[in-house]
Amino acid sequence: MNTIQYILRWDRVIMLLVGYTVSRVASLDFTYHNQTQLERFLRNATLYYPDITDLYSIGQSVRGVDLWVLAIGRDIKSHVPLRPHVKYIGNIHGNEAVSREMMMHFIEYLLTGYGSNETVTDFLKKTGVHVMVTMNPDGYGISIMGTCTGYVGRENANGYDLNRNFPDFFKANTSPVQVETKAIMNWIQNRSFVLSANLHGGAMVANYPFDSYNSTSQTSGASISPDDDVFQHLALTYTRSHATMSLSPETCPGDHFVNGITNGAQWYTVNGGMQDYNYLSVGCMEITIEMACCKFPQPSQLPQFWSKNKDALFNFLTKVHIGAKGLVIDNDSNPIPNARVYVVGREPVHFKTSKYGEYWKLLLPGKYTLKAEADGYLTTTVSIVVHDGVVTRKDIMLMNTDVKSEGSKHAVYLPFILLSMTMILL
């Protein structure tokens, strides 16, 4: 046991004593929480809910502040085969502070709901939820409460906009990759997230890929992704579960969004955005949620924001359980990691299988053909039917290419064999 574990253990005893003697109903207050308070909140969550939480840092900001993630779910520290993982990333722009507090309240909602609310409990039994309250603690640190517009604190400590800092698949991004961005890139390569949202302020809208155009000739209109139907469904799930977001009067001055959703590029183009990167690099379905017209409103408004967003935040994540999932395995039933699973007709987007060979593909009801490919294996297709409200399980077995080359060796010899037989017969 190292010192930290020792301190944590005593912390826990003290916390529990305080909890019993004072009151266990004390809940998270509606104020803004700085980094110290945030870390205390996250540690306390792991002390009270050790069985369903896992707190980890994916790296540090430019100023050396840990980028904390709290993962929540039953047996969250173990691998449960084919259990999907989802994520929320708040406060990517440091001055867009509402999402930061919404993430803290959402954590509390899940933790207190586990074991007391059946819907929340069922969901946490079959899903891993990873919440990063802030991706830009340095920017938040210099942001000014009460500032509805403007840019102070938006960027990281080196002055880079983190939602313009990812590699872009359509147009080269020349801004140097920041440590916060790199940490996210490693994280999503290492954990196989299926569904995700990054949260902002300054508008009221759910924005879905693509944010960028796949052609220099297109300069306006929507940049439609192959999974446009699914993305619209996901975005609508959020806005229709939100108290007012799908109603046009709720849009901020000057904006007009039908049902509170928009294709990213149709609104304005973003080069190096996080959502396109998630989707095109690993197949994680990510959308961008703008949840407040005012970027950093007075804390008195936080209770309203929470009551409007809480069902939306929850219902959006439940959509991870639609479509198809399964294992990509070899002929000896060994999982094949890093295989690419495509939906035929929706290429080139693919889901990269997890280290356990798992894939998930969110789809609306219908008939589809899945295609799996991996280096050293024969590409294979399978047909699936997706029904409403349930996920279809379909494993895909890939044969080794050796088998083929053996086969083709025979194929090469076959004419000679036939020729020799013909000659013998003659």
Q: Which of residues 253-312 bind ligand NAG (CB under 6 A)?
A: 280, 311
Determine, following the binding rule CB under 5 A, whether residue 93 of this chain makes contact with Zn ion. yes
In the complex with Zn ion, the residue whose CB is nearer, 173 or 392, is 173
Of residues 271, 285, 401, the one with CA closest to residue 346: 285
* Catalytic residue from among 96, 155, 250, 290: 290
Partner whose footprint covers residue 405, from ligand NAG, Zn ion, none (CB < 5 to 8 Å by kind)? none
Examine residue 186 and tell whether it contacts ligand NAG (CB under 6 A): yes
Binders of ligand NAG among 140-169, rule CB under 6 A?
169
Judge whether 392 and 384 are in contact, CB under 8 Å.
yes
Q: Which of 83, 191, 325, 371 binds ligand NAG (CB under 6 A)?
A: 191
Q: SS3 for 172?
A: coil
Residue (137 or 202) nearer to ligand NAG, CB: 137
Q: Is 295 in the site for Zn ion (CB under 5 A)?
A: no
Does the annotation count 290 as an active-site position? yes
Query: According to CB under 6 A, which one of 11, 12, 30, 37 is a site residue for ligand NAG?
Result: 37
Secondary structure of residue 368 in the 3-state scheme: strand
Alpha carbon of 334 to those of 74, 206, 375, 398: distances in Å? Answer: 26, 40, 15, 10
Choose the one of Zn ion, ligand NAG, none that binds residue 9, judging by a C-beta under 5 to 8 angstroms depending on kind. none
Of all residues in the shown chain, the one whose CB is closest to Zn ion is 200
Rule CB under 6 A: say whether 190 interacts with ligand NAG.
Answer: yes
The phi, psi pair for 269, rounded to 5°, reads: -85, 145
- Partner whose footprint covers residue 93, from ligand NAG, Zn ion, none (CB < 5 to 8 Å by kind): Zn ion
Per CB under 6 A, which region of 19-27, 81-89, 132-140, 176-184 contacts ligand NAG?
A: 19-27
In the list 60, 214, 248, 281, the residue contacting ligand NAG (rule: CB under 6 A) is 214
Give the x-and-dash track for 195-214 against Zn ion (CB under 5 A).
-----x--------------
Q: Taking the CA atoms of 357, 378, 281 and 326 in sequence, report the sign of the dihedral they define.
A: negative
Q: Min. distance of Cβ 331 from ligand NAG in angstroms?
A: 4
Binding at 200: pick from ligand NAG, Zn ion, none (beta carbon under 5-8 Å per type): Zn ion
Binding residues for ligand NAG, per CB under 6 A?
Answer: 19, 24, 26, 34-37, 41, 44, 48, 113, 117, 119-120, 169, 186, 190-191, 214, 280, 311, 314, 331-332, 348, 400, 402-403
- Active-site residue set: 290
Binding residues for Zn ion, per CB under 5 A?
Answer: 93, 96, 200
